[in-house]
Amino acid sequence: MNALVLDVGWVNGLAAIRSLGRAGITVLALDHRASPLGFRSRYAQPVRVPDPAAEEDGFVAAVAEAGPGVLFPTHDPPLNALARNRDRLDGFLFPFPSWDRLEAIQDKRHQLEAAVAAGVDIPETVYPSSASELVDVPLPALVKPQHPDGFKRTFGKQAFRCETRAELERAYADAEPFGPMVQELVPGGDDELYSLGSYLREDGEPLGLFSGRKLKQVPPLVGTCRVGEAVWVEEVVDAGLRFLRGLGYHGISQVEFKRDPRDGRYKLMEINPRLWQWHGLAAACGVDLPLIAYRDLTGESVAPASMNGAGRRWAISLMPGERPAVPRPPYVDAVFAKDDLRPGLVHMARVLKGVVF
């Protein structure tokens, strides 16, 4: 059976293509852009499809025509479109729950309430019903959306960081259509952000477990991972599994926590119910989540895998407008690979073009 990787413009899609292609699986790379990075991989068969955020019906029809196969969305718009239209995708296999479960899981307030019920620590959070209730909120703070999908498309970020009362009021007003909530800013740098990456079978058994932390984000504090490190933290793994089971979740996910240096407790930041940006590090440490999911969903017997290779690092070494980031070896480069050269060459050309212009 084919594997379909959806939204392959960046490194999470590229990593999934390589994981599956190296195992000899036929990989279709689906994207609405003309020249996404994943189209350049030797392991991918490119398929142009409509934008799921703008043309959901057309996107789902194009996926149905390309299939059947195992579906691997790498961002929220294709994930949500596929989950909402599951009944139109006969013969496909899904490493994520049905829409009735997934819609609730993506609600940030529901996430926090489920975490508390599961005994998982969360940052102090309030849900103001109007701007007048912001007066007593301590600063600095984060304004986050209860409904993140539309917020991220509109603002290009996951949250607003607010240092002043004026910034807080403006952020609340901007986020009001998306159900804003205000959360304490847990102190500490990007290297206090820890993740559990996992694949849970439908009965809740974990077939793949990875634990790691971010070392650098772009932009700092509210960005996405630029450099990550594999490190097994039992508290993160245990809390993440309690949280996932409390949600009734199965499939691929990343659960992120921030370690609070004031008390050493790991506080829930979010769940990504799909492949996340640096899942390639998990694969390099023996937990190849796309491949584990593919084999489980297609009926193969899969032995549970836990992370090896503690201390190994992952990096996007070159990024437009940023200094090079090359960690100490051994590290996994998110773009450059000896057995798949074209994506790295194309990416380097794009970065150099940005420097020139």
Mapped to the 3 state alphabet, what secondary structure does 280-348 carry? HHHHHCCCCHHHHHHHHHCCCCCCCEECCCCCCEEECCCCCCCCCCCCCCCEEECCCCCCCHHHHHHHH
In the chain, pLDDT over 90 holds for what percent of residues? 85
Per-residue model confidence as pLDDT tens digits over 30-50:
999 999 999 999 999 999 999
The pLDDT of residue 131 is: 84
For the chain, give every domain's residue range. 3-96, 124-184, 190-356
Average pLDDT, the chain: 94
Q: Using one digit for the tens of pLDDT, what is the confidence trace for 70-79?
A: 999 999 999 9
Bridge-based pairing state of the strands 313-315 and 224-230? antiparallel
Which residue do the tokens 């852009």 mark?
33
The string of pLDDT tens digits covering residues 222-242 is: 789 999 999 999 999 999 999
Q: What is the pTM of this model?
A: 0.93
CATH domain 190-356 topology: D-amino Acid Aminotransferase; Chain A, domain 1 (3.30.470)
Which tokens hold the place of 54?
A: 């703008």
**Residues in contact with 30: Cβ distance below 8 Å, sequence separation at least 6, in sequence order:** 4, 5, 6, 7, 8, 47, 48, 49, 62, 63, 66, 78
Pick the CATH number of 3-96 from 3.40.50.300, 3.40.50.720, 2.40.30.10, 3.40.1160.10: 3.40.50.720
Q: Does the CA dihedral 68-279-240-230 come out positive or negative?
A: positive
Q: What is the pLDDT of residue 17?
A: 98
Sign of the CA dihedral with 275 first, then 288, 63, and 103 last: negative
Does residue 221 have a pLDDT over 80?
A: no
Counting residues of the chain whose pLDDT is more than 70, the rounded percentage is 99
Q: Given a cut of 70, is residue 357 above it in pLDDT?
A: no
Average pLDDT on 165-169 reads: 92
- In this predicted structure, what is the pLDDT of residue 356? 60
Higher-confidence residue of 146 and 238: namely 238
Grouping H, G, I as helix, E, B as strand and the rest as coil, residue 164 is coil
124-184 CATH fold: Dna Ligase; domain 1 (3.30.1490)
pLDDT at position 243 is: 98
Mean pLDDT of 240-268: 97
The pLDDT of residue 354 is above 80: no
Task: Look at residue 157 and tell me whether its pLDDT is greater than 90.
Answer: no
Is the pLDDT at 100 greater than 90? The verdict is yes
Q: What is the pLDDT of residue 300?
A: 97
89 confidence band (pLDDT: 50, 70, 90): very high
pLDDT tens track for 296-330: 999 999 999 999 888 899 999 999 889 999 888 88
